[in-house]
């Protein structure tokens, strides 16, 4: 695969400053308008925009040969692109945000310290309380893991991301939802149907189930009315999740323990029904608001005003 990592996204919102306290509170580092884990304070950059929207997706490839391959495939699809400063910039022909592909050394976050868990018959945590209780402060999030987008032309979007840029399909839902990856993560980008292009959610990885549950439940207690969905464990991707709403109205997921695909040949792409594919435990289905956020009309009007 030419791609090996999701590097970041740019989110546009009417009032960028409302996200500064939020990301700091979440445990990201950064400065005005650029946030991420220690060492990568640019995974989520924030820009001013007339309505909330995804403005850019940044992915890593290995080298110039990968870029050349992508350029050739985009040419074959008749998709415009430019190369500036060694980066390929391709305006998404359907969804209108930019995709930037940049040769970047392969890297991963450092491994999380393993929790000492007591299980029946094997109880190594003796005479000690759980780490989530004893640690001084909650461990920060590890990285941006994936984004989910709604798109009015899923097949054309599929062609751009899969055939052009080189994302790989991991699983398919209802014939029209493509879980795709640009790394060994089960998904870094999910293409889902939508009335206009919109950011359905972005997802942030944490160390383990304890840290996801503690971060999400603390946030919910402090920010009444922000519940979206969860906790639960997805069937597709296997990740434990909890979705909440950030102060700009975007849904954000905190997750851990996602399926990992290293042997591409061995992975069998699953075709799932729309029913019975949301969770192994937790609520059976996603709530109505998940694919129909309350500000959807605003997003439709905004997109049509700017691109109609
Ligand atoms: Fe997700």
Residue 120 CA, ligand 1 centroid: distance in Å: 32
Length of the chain: 308
Orientation angle between helical segments 18-26 and 209-222, nearest 10 degrees: 140
Confidence class of residue 275 from pLDDT cuts 50, 70 and 90?
confident
Residue 194 CA, ligand 1 centroid: distance in Å: 16
Contacts of 276 (CB under 8 A, 6+ apart): 235, 284
Domain boundaries, the chain: 3-107+140-307
**Nearest of 280, 217, 296, 235 to residue 288 by alpha carbon:** 296
Structure token pair of residue 220:
């919910």
- Amino acid 105: pLDDT: 95
Q: CA 230 to CA 215: how far, in whole Å? A: 13
Does a cis peptide bond (omega within 30 degrees of 0) precede residue 231? yes
Residue 174 CA, ligand 1 centroid: distance in Å: 17
Structure token pair of residue 122:
């094997």
Residue 58 CA, ligand 1 centroid: distance in Å: 18
Residue 243 CA, ligand 1 centroid: distance in Å: 8
pTM, 2 dp: 0.96
Residue 179 CA, ligand 1 centroid: distance in Å: 10
Residue 106 CA, ligand 1 centroid: distance in Å: 23
Given the DSSP bridges, would you call strands 270-272 and 227-234 parallel, antiparallel or unpaired?
A: unpaired
**Which DSSP category does 159 fall into?**
I
Residue 100 CA, ligand 1 centroid: distance in Å: 21
Residue 149 CA, ligand 1 centroid: distance in Å: 10
Q: Mean pLDDT for the chain?
A: 96
CB-based burial, 258-297: b 16+ in 10 Å, e otherwise:
bbebeeeeebeeeebeeeebbbeeeeeebeeebeebeebe
Confidence class of residue 252 from pLDDT cuts 50, 70 and 90?
very high
Residue 216 CA, ligand 1 centroid: distance in Å: 14
* pLDDT of residue 274 exceeding 90: no
Give 25: exposed, middle or buried? Use CB within 10 Å, 0-12, 13-18, 19+: middle
Confidence class of residue 202 from pLDDT cuts 50, 70 and 90?
very high
Backbone angles phi, psi at 147, to 5 degrees: -130, 150
Torsion of CA 156, 159, 161, 162, to 10 degrees: 150
- Amino acid 276: pLDDT: 77
Residue 235 CA, ligand 1 centroid: distance in Å: 12
Using an 8 Å Cβ cutoff, are 271 and 227 in contact? no
Which residues neighbour ligand 1 (ion) by CB within 5 Å? Answer: 203, 253
Residue 101 CA, ligand 1 centroid: distance in Å: 22
* pLDDT of residue 176 exceeding 80: no
Residue 148 CA, ligand 1 centroid: distance in Å: 6
Using a pLDDT cut of 90, give the percent of the chain over it: 94
Residue 122 CA, ligand 1 centroid: distance in Å: 33
Residue 144 CA, ligand 1 centroid: distance in Å: 11
Residue 146 CA, ligand 1 centroid: distance in Å: 7
Residue 203 CA, ligand 1 centroid: distance in Å: 6
Which helix (H) or strand (E) segment is 272 a member of? strand 270-272
**Which DSSP category does 185 fall into?**
B
How many other C-beta atoms lie within 10 A of the C-beta of residue 100? 17
Using an 8 Å Cβ cutoff, are 153 and 94 in contact? yes
Confidence class of residue 186 from pLDDT cuts 50, 70 and 90?
very high
In order of 123, 130, 146, 169, the CA distances from 116 in angstroms are 9, 8, 28, 35
Residue 27 CA, ligand 1 centroid: distance in Å: 19
Indicate the CATH number of 3-107+140-307 among 3.10.180.10, 1.10.287.540, 1.10.10.10, 3.40.1440.10.
3.10.180.10
Confidence class of residue 308 from pLDDT cuts 50, 70 and 90?
confident
Q: Report the SS3 class of residue 103.
A: strand
Residue 253 CA, ligand 1 centroid: distance in Å: 6
């Amino acid at each position: 695969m030419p791609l090996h990592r999701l590097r970041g996204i740019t989110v546009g919102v009417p009032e960028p400053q409302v996200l500064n306290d939020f990301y700091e509170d979440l445990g990201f580092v950064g400065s005005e308008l650029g946030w991420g884990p220690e060492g990568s304070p640019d995974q989520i950059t924030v820009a001013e925009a007339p309505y909330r929207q995804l403005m850019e997706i940044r992915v890593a490839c290995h080298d110039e040969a990968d870029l050349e391959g992508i350029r050739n495939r985009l040419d074959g699809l008749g998709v415009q692109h430019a190369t500036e400063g060694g980066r390929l910039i391709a305006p998404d022909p359907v969804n209108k945000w930019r995709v930037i592909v940049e040769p970047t050394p392969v890297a991963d976050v450092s491994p999380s310290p393993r929790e000492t868990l007591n299980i029946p018959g094997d109880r190594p945590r003796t005479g000690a309380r759980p780490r989530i209780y004893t640690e001084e402060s909650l461990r920060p999030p590890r990285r941006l893991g994936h984004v989910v987008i709604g798109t009015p032309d899923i097949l054309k979007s599929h062609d751009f991301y899969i055939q052009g840029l080189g994302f790989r399909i991991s699983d398919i839902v209802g014939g029209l939802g493509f879980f795709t990856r640009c790394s060994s993560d089960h998904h870094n980008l999910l293409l889902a149907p939508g009335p206009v292009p919109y950011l359905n959610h972005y997802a942030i990885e944490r160390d383990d189930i304890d840290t996801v549950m503690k971060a999400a439940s603390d946030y919910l207690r402090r920010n009444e009315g922000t519940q979206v969905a969860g906790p639960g464990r997805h069937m597709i991707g296997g990740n434990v999740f909890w979705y909440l709403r950030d102060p700009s109205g975007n849904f954000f997921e905190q997750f851990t323990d996602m399926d990992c695909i290293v042997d591409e040949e061995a992975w069998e792409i699953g075709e799932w029904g729309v029913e019975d594919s949301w969770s192994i435990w937790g609520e059976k289905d996603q709530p109505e608001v998940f694919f129909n956020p309350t500000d959807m009309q605003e997003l439709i009007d905004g997109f049509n005003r700017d691109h109609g």
